[in-house]
Chains A and B, each alone.
Chain A
């Protein structure tokens, strides 16, 4: 029996963006307040799972045309690249650096290489979790 999902789908279209923006906020807030790459990645996965529940597996794959195994790979490369980059400056592996920059819109911002590592963690978590759920949910 085909059910009428219009309430769930309309709510999902709105709520997805609230969860996604909150996950981005959690990701960037990780250095000074609770949060970071792992929780941000899990929240983004939760938003994608909500889409998968409200819509079809095929529809979501068309809306988000990423191969999530490759997303995991990019995340691992980012993390490894951040760690390996420090060797070129004659400091031990995994040494981070930061400095204050004056950006056009944000004013003086302190940028830290740990954020690139965190972006790697974020991508690995999103890629791995979404791959698990898509492969369990799908037929192939």
Chain B
């Protein structure tokens, strides 16, 4: 096999993996029962899907067009750092503002922590008139 064929296989493989993971994300967001399981689906597999697509684009421009795009590598690193943090912050904001997890949940350690914290320094609401 020539180098061109190997490069094509690498590019097609990474992009197909990315698309499959993105589709899995969409199915997970539709099918899973509550906010937390959906955040789990959206932040994990969407990250891997987008990273894989970007990696495929990077390989395409590097191996076939001869352009080593440092910006795509930076984007991969940036998304890898930030998108799980986004999932974490959104699901924690949902929990603190009172979204209940699904009935299938067996343990809930965070509820106790939240209760303690609210007792120690009660939430400061603005005066309602």
Contact = CB atoms under 8 A, between A and B. Distances in A.
Interface of A: 1-3, 7-8, 11, 14-15, 18, 22
Interface of B: 71, 74, 77-78, 81-82, 85, 88-89, 92, 96, 114, 117-118, 121-123
Nearest to A33: B71
- Chain A residues touching B, majority SS: helix
B88 A14 contact: no
Contacts of B88: 7
* Chain B, interface SS category: helix
A15 B81 contact: yes
A133 B91 CA distance: 26
B123 A1 contact: yes
Given A1-B118, A1-B121, A18-B74, 18 more contacts: A1-B96, A1-B114, A1-B117, A1-B122, A1-B123, A2-B117, A2-B121, A3-B92, A8-B85, A8-B89, A11-B81, A11-B82, A11-B85, A14-B81, A15-B78, A15-B81, A22-B71, A22-B74
A8 B78 CA distance: 14
Contacts of A22: 71, 74
Contacts of A2: 117, 121
